[in-house]
């Protein structure tokens, strides 16, 4: 089933493209050929970011934060987010699959870290650590921009048209390939 790891230079870059035609430039972290299909572990060249809107403070003085996910939500605040990040010499890009920033992310301080619980039920909740970058207001609504501490990785493959695409969660080989690509990356 597994044939070989293909050779990519650490500086090799490939672009993932979404349905809207936006692209995301990525480094090739690892690759693997399985049944004549090339699978790739990719990491964005620029730093991924997430924009959150803040809700009202509730019991315990905690405010609910909600990530902006829809295109309309993001487009509504994109100009303001871009302007506030430019003050820190960071250039916000509306790239495929995630927003990214080009520029040097400042070294984080412990008090600038937010822990976000990710999961749909109590049994499958994971914690993701995010570094605060900036906040801004639009129409009296507070927004904050964060970048993940851990790298964002994408699993992709070349389809029959020799076009790079994300690996579908329904792909029968996904789990095995992910494990193989990640294990090889850690060696």
One domain for residues 92 and 22: no
Same-domain pairing of 115 and 128: yes
Please give the pLDDT value at position 185: 56
Position 4 scores a pLDDT of 46
What pLDDT score does 6 carry?
53
Predicted confidence at residue 121, as pLDDT, reads: 56
Q: Residue 38's domain is classified under what CATH number?
A: 2.30.30
Largest CA distance in the chain: 57
Q: Are residues 168 and 76 in the same domain?
A: no
Q: Which domain holds residue 80?
A: 48-148
Number of domains the chain is built from:
2
CA–CA distance, 4 with 90 (Å, rounded to integer)? 39
Phi/psi-derived region of residue 60, left when phi > 0, alpha when psi is between -120 and 50, beta in every other case: left
Whole-number pLDDT of residue 187 = 53
Residues 95 and 117 in one domain: yes
Do 3 and 22 touch, CB atoms closer than 8 A? Answer: no
Do residues 22 and 72 both lie within one domain?
A: no
- Determine contact, residues 155/178, Cβ cutoff 8 Å: yes
Nearest in space to 18 (alpha carbons), one of 165, 170, 174? 165
Name the pTM for this structure. 0.81
- If asked whether residues 134 and 175 sit together in one domain, one would say no
Q: What is the pLDDT of residue 11?
A: 67
The conformation of residue 26, written as its DSSP 8-state character, comes to E
Residues 6+ away with beta carbon under 8 Å from 56: 63, 64
Based on the fold, state whether residues 55 and 103 are members of the same structural domain.
yes
Residues 6 and 92 in one domain: no
Tell me the torsion sign for CA atoms 132, 136, 141, 145.
negative
Q: Which residues of the chain have pLDDT under 50?
A: 1-5
pLDDT at 116: 74
Both 55 and 143 in a single domain?
Answer: yes
């Amino acid at each position: 089933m597994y044939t070989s790891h293909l050779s990519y230079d650490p500086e090799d870059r490939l672009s993932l493209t979404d349905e809207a035609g936006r692209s995301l430039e990525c480094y090739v972290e690892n690759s693997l050929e399985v049944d004549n299909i090339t699978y790739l572990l990719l990491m964005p060249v620029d730093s991924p970011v997430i924009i959150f809107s803040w809700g009202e403070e509730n019991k315990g003085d905690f405010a609910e934060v909600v990530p902006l996910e829809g295109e309309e939500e993001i487009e509504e605040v994109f100009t303001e987010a871009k302007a506030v990040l430019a003050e820190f010499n960071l250039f916000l890009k509306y790239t495929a699959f995630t927003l990214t920033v080009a520029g040097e992310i400042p070294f984080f301080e412990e008090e600038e870290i937010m822990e976000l619980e990710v999961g749909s039920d109590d049994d499958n909740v994971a914690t993701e650590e995010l570094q605060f970058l900036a906040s801004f207001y639009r129409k009296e609504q507070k927004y904050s921009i964060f970048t993940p501490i851990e790298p964002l990785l994408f699993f992709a493959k070349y389809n029959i048209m020799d076009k790079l695409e994300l690996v579908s969660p329904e792909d029968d080989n996904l789990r095995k390939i992910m494990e193989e690509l990640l294990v090889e990356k850690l060696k």
